[in-house]
Structure 1
Amino acid sequence: MDATTPNKSLIKKIIALVLGFGPGIFAIGYTIGTGSVTSMIVAGSKFNMQLLWVLLLSCLFSGILMFAYGNYALLTGETALYGFKKHFKYGKILAILIIVGITFGQWNSLMGILGISSNIIFEILSVNFEGLAAYKYETVLITAIVIIVTFYLLMLVGKYTFFEKILVIFVTLMGLSFVLSLCFVQPLPLDVVKGLIPTIPDVVGGKMLVAAFVGTTMASATFLSRPLFVKGKGWTIKNLDQQKKDAITAAILIFIISGVIMAVAAGALFYQGREVTHVLDMANTLEPVAGKWAVTIFFFGALSAGLSSIFPCLLIAPLLVADYQSGELDTNSRQFRIITAVACLVALIGPAFGANPIEIQILSQVFNVFVLPLVIIGIIMMVNNKKIMKSYKTSLFVNIGLFAALLFSLVISYNGIVALTEYF
């Protein structure tokens, strides 16, 4: 009995560590969904590790923005959009523009997420039931309906802690799946080092992917939702240090998991000259290297990424509206049920029309970058306003980080405009 006790206590410690995640788990859920997975895989397959520097900068700035928004909530007791509306002359207009911009981006993303998740399930089923291949459209649509209805019903009964636990499970499974995939295929170490040198691929689609990278990694929804999730966790001004550690941990994990996904794609696809255009392409090239198990593990990771993103994407619109109104999110309200129901219907548009979910996903991530400068400007004004922050003074390091993030977001927004004009 004594021999097994240390093992049991170790397992308990690991479980406690995983379940001990704070609001940062929502940041990972928002950030590393099928949008991030798709962007990383497409980038890795086309450009090897060349865009790793974009990921690094995005994660660095994301950590600073999560910290700033979380601190604002703990020090003032207010949420972001409610604060904009309350303290600024044109705060109402700013808040409404942010709500519209983020909701548009997240609902478009939800279309891609549901499409990719449904296609992944179809591919898994078709391996075991060959006759199903002739009914791909019907199977994908039915699967999409089942997934979104299930998540909607879960939304109606869930509370913050329930959503958090579900996300912890999906994110943990996702991370382990992609790390296992990396064991089968790896990029060259020199390519990883080269990827940290800032360059934009001078090819068709290069600018689009850079914008998509930032749109999915520096997701405005992640920062704006943080005050509500911090409050939902029950944290107060006493948890400032814990909030800081949570933001740093979330940013590091986003970088590691996203980097691993890109590395898997580079190792499996780039060196063979293969690109990703359909869902099955994301895993098929692993089969010659490691057999069907590798494909299954990879698909399982991608599916976990998709499912971990559905909750946050459904939550974002009612969350932002509640933030604007009073700073409180009531998951039992009629308003919450109606808005999430509309989001579910929007999510089914992609599967219903049989659209390519990978293309939808990349485009939706690009649209996300355009609201990002507004979100950064808002928090810079808030945390440097003495009337709002009172005795608390924002450090020079955080301010430098925020202004650098603003400059980065403006450059990427311009890049996104150029990318979209080239695409259309």
Structure 2
Amino acid sequence: MFKKIGPGVLVAAAFVGPGTIAMCTLAGVRFGYALIWALLVSILATIALQGMAGRIGVVTQTGLVDVVRGELKNPWVKKLVIAVVLGAILIGNAAYEAGNIGGATLGLEQLFPQQQLMPFYPLLVGLFIFVLLWFSNYKILERIFVGLVALMGVCFVICALLTQPSISDIVQGMFVPRPPEGSLLTVIALVGTTVVPYNLFLHASLVKEKWKSDNDLKAVKWDTAISIGLGGLVSLAILVTASAAPIDDVNNVLDMAKGLEPLFGKMAIYLMAVGLLAAGITSAITAALAAAFVVSSCFGWSGGMRDRRFKMVWGFVLFCGVFFLSFDIQLIQVIQFAQMANGILLPIMAILLLWIVNRKSVMGPYKNTWIQNIIGIAIVGFSIFLGAKSIFKVIGWL
């Protein structure tokens, strides 16, 4: 099984970042186990969409943007779609990179609370990620991610088990959808932090680094389901911990750890800090890689991960994250723009993905079945709803 795990683990690591940890924590503290069903729906939707993206990558042996460019015949429509995708991914990921590096920094500060060193932690995290990306190839990154996701999973699952949660309440929250009053935006945020548009590009580009034949489609399917399922387990563990812990309110995941400290001592803080550090590093790497893959596809670069232009793009995204944190720039407007960009991009990419995966000229005998299309249409409808809510929230209509 572990030999089959590949690009899917990078996708799982990408969505289980500081944002997801914070959102699952808030959902658990405010609404208990009641929103576990929303997390389950988002995981299943992610498996479905990422499975389509992975299938496209293996069958076509190109990135998602390359396929879109080839299939859109109208030059104006093609330019518009490419511009929206390029702008949303590049600027959005550059903005969110600060949150990823900030999450890793927060974990590092709890593990090594030396006041004189703390201002340099964002730079230290950025340099560590830079070295990993510059000197690693896909196979090395894959192994690193398997280790980091395993570490993250162990930390958060142990925290969940320590709280001795109610199994019956978990099962009820998972299979009986009853959104509490005032939980709509939290439901949207839970789905939005899991079904991430840039992961579709990342997955389609990475599968061709590992698999070269249509015969590998079964391996892609298992890789996607197992890896994202494990990522979902981590998210579930965080939500369960926050639900069961004796906490009234939190501002970040480490507040939850401090709430657990009287029961379990310093171990709770150390487990949460290590998990947050691993989550921040993995999400920072994947956000930078996804932006580089998208830009490469938009401009037709063919050098792969070793291309200097490819490295310049992920270097720019990484630099933006460190820069925003190091100089204490107010991130709220930048992050709001990134939210709006992702809100626009998610339904567009879901529609394009569904369109491409049904094109016989692209997929041949591996195009969607009618069951897959029903699932895809349902996800597209929800992504449009999610995107509209995300945009309205940013511009202040909600």
Give the alignment's TM-score, normalised by structure 2. Answer: 0.90
Of 263, 280, 304, which residue of structure 1 is paired with 2:240?
Answer: 263
Contact 1:61–1:218 (CA<8 Å) still a contact in 2? yes
Q: Report whether the alignment pairs 1:239 with 2:183.
A: no
Q: 1:114 to 1:362 in 2, by over 3 A?
A: farther
Q: Give the Cα–Cα distance (whole angstroms) in 2 for the partners of residues 97 and 330 of structure 1.
A: 23
Alpha-carbon offset, residue 261 of structure 1: 1.0
CA contact (8 A) 1:116 1:357 kept: no
Q: Is the 8 A contact 1:115 1:351 kept in 2?
A: yes
- Structure 1 Cα separation of the partners of residues 282 and 127 of structure 2: 15
Asked whether the equivalents of residues 215 and 366 of structure 1 are also in contact (C-alpha less than 8 Å), the reply is no
Taking every aligned residue pair, what percent have the same amino acid on both sides? 24
For the pair 1:171 / 2:171, whether they are aligned, the reply is no
Unaligned runs of 5+ in 2: none
Q: How does 1:99-138 map to 2 (within 5 A)?
A: 99-126=86-113, 132=115
Q: Retained in 2: the 8 A contact 1:53–1:195? A: yes
Report if the CA contact (8 A) 1:63-1:248 is conserved.
Answer: yes
**2:316 pairs with one of 324, 342, 346:** 342
Q: Distance in 1 between matches of 2:64 and 2:28?
A: 35
Paired residues of 1:82 and 1:327 also in contact (CA < 8 A): no
Q: 1:194 aligns with which of 162, 173, 179?
A: 173
- State the shift of 1:163 in Å: 1.2
Deviation at 1:199, TM superposition (A): 4.6
Shift of 1:365: 5.9
CA–CA distance in 1 between the matches of 2:340 and 2:193?
8
- State whether residues 220 and 372 of structure 1, in contact with CA within 8 Å, keep that contact through their aligned partners in structure 2: yes
> 2:136 maps to which residue?
158
TM superposition shift of 1:272: 3.4
Deviates more, 1:385-394 or 1:21-30: 385-394
Equivalent position to 1:184, from 162, 167, 187 = 162
Measured against aligned partners, the alpha-carbon deviations of 1:187-226 in whole angstroms (never above 9, x if no partner) come to 43344213544454543xx444333322220011111221
1:409, CA displacement in angstroms? 0.6
Q: 1:367 to 1:295 in 2, by over 3 A?
A: farther
Structure 1 residue 384: deviation in Å?
A: 1.6
Q: Determine which of 51, 69, 74 is the counterpart of 2:35.
A: 51
Return the offset for 1:417.
Answer: 2.8
How far off is 1:27 after superposition? 0.9
CA distance in 1, matches of 2:243, 2:332: 18
Shift of 1:388: 2.4
2:350 pairs with one of 360, 373, 376: 376
Matched, 1:63 2:47: yes
| Amino acid in the other structure paired with 1:154 | L
Q: Is the 8 A contact 1:111 1:360 kept in 2?
A: no
Q: Is the 8 A contact 1:41 1:282 kept in 2?
A: yes
Cα drift, residue 356 of structure 1: 8.7
In structure 1, list runs of 5 or more residues that go unmatched: 1-16
**For the residues of structure 2 that align with 1:244 and 1:299, how far apart are their CA atoms?**
32
Asked whether 1:230 is paired with 2:207, we answer yes
Instruction: Report the Cα distance in structure 1 between the residues aligned to 2:335 and 2:27, rounded to whole angstroms.
Output: 13
Contact persistence 2:35–2:179 (CA under 8 A): yes
SS at match of 1:331: helix
Distance 1:85 1:100 in 2: 16
CA separation of 1:272 and 1:226: change in aligned 2, threshold 3 A: closer
1:35/1:109 contact within 8 Å kept: no
Match of 1:78 among 43, 53, 62: 62
Cα separation, 1, equivalents of 2:195 and 2:315: 26
Q: Is 1:212 aligned to 2:186, yes or no?
A: no
Structure 1 contact 112–358 (Cα < 8 Å) conserved: no
- Selected match of 2:118 from 140, 144, 153: 140
State the Cα deviation string for residues 46-90 of structure 1 (Å, max 9, x = none). Answer: 221222222111111111111111112222333211110111122
1:321 partner amino acid: V
TM-score (norm 1): 0.85
Secondary structure at the residue paired with 2:344? coil
Q: Distance in 2 between matches of 1:124 and 1:363?
A: 32
**Is the alpha carbon distance of 1:365 and 1:226 closer, same or farther for their aligned partners in structure 2, counting shifts above 3 Å?**
same
Give the residue type in structure 2 aligned to 1:61: A
Code of the residue aligned with 1:290 in structure 2: it is: F
Cα distance in 2, alignment partners of residues 318 and 267 from structure 1: 40
Q: Please tell me the residue identity of whatever aligns with 1:408.
A: F
State the alpha-carbon separation in 2 of the partners of residues 352 and 286 from structure 1.
30
Matching residue within 247, 251, 272 for 2:247: 272
Partners of 2:337 and 2:271 in 1: CA distance? 27
**How many angstroms does 1:177 deviate by?**
0.7
Kept in 2, the 8 Å contact 1:67–1:244? The answer is: yes
Q: Residues 158 and 331 of structure 1 are in contact (CA less than 8 Å); yes or no, is this contact kept in structure 2?
A: no
How many corresponding residue pairs? 394
Displacement of 1:155 in angstroms is: 1.4
